[in-house]
Amino acid sequence: MINAGIIGGSGYTGGELIRLLLNHPEVTIDFIYSRSQHGNPITTVHNDLLGETDLHFSSKVNRDIDVLFLCTGHGNSAEILTKHPVAPTTNIIDLSRDFRLEGQQSYHQRPFIYGLPELQKNAVQKAKNVANPGCFATAIQLALLPLAQASGLQHDLHIHGITGSTGAGSSLSDTTHFSWRNSNVSVYKALNHQHVTEITQSIKQLSDDFDSELHFVPMRGNFTRGIFISAYTKSGISLENAQSLFKEFYSDSPFVYISPDPLHLKQVINTNKCLLHLQKKNGQLLITSIIDNLLKGASGQALQNMNLMFGLDETNGLLLKPTHF
């Protein structure tokens, strides 16, 4: 059995990760560390787990575990690893953005691999430390990477994305409050989102001469979870050839599917899937991409990476039915 620990288990991604690990056939949870909740039953925060666990939040970190998941806020990972050092043999999966970008992908003697399995499967399988991708970055990269490999991104890219309120974390703010979100949408960080650098880095891995502009407009949606991406660019590739490119690129990716029909978000909620749909009109290729931001965009992808790191089938514990209705 894989002995797992979690630091930062009281938020949305921590809660989803606990749920997944409790139901994983090869994992035992050693501890769930939380500064704010230590001593309290897990179910006082994650009420959906009532009847599934009697675990309590811990104030201690066991250094001798097989894998450590960091589910804390951005910018805290190095400090946490310094304060709570784990054994050199312990694998680390960081769900923050701290180790995703080139030049930042190490902590002391620990190099981190960027953990998008559909791009980096072989590297993840050999890695001891993985930086889990961002949620918007995951959905957008999966929409663009087959074109990048085929040198099909020669023109500016225009991307619109809308995300649910859980993408902002569990702490309340003006824009996550129900009264504000309900029957409402808004743009934020227009053309300046932090995930653009992450996306460009991966595109250049497949197409090192990529120099097109990537125009990304993210939006807050009036729903709780999920990401819906619409990306379009001028393209000389026919729709039939584009569909073939995508199917070939993802032939070894069990969670990515090319849909012949237009998408709707409930198809992926509560799953680790990414669904893609392609359209072509007036020389513009449109790719729509949908994921659950808490699963394929966070905790589900972290578990997928753990499976790969420990030589397991990457679908273990992740064959989940969407909440379609």
> Which of these, 176, 174, 172, lies nearest to 221 by C-alpha position?
176
Residue 274 is a catalytic residue: no
Q: At what angle do helices 117-126 and 135-149 cross, to 10 degrees?
A: 100
- Is 105:112 a contact under the CB 8 Å cutoff? yes
Q: At what angle do helices 239-249 and 135-149 cross, to 10 degrees?
A: 110
> What letter represents residue 45's amino acid?
V
Q: At what angle do helices 299-309 and 117-126 cross, to 10 degrees?
A: 40
**CA 164/CA 71 separation, integer angstroms:** 19
Q: Which residue out of 92, 135, 265, 298 is catalytically annotated?
A: 135
Catalytic residue list: 135
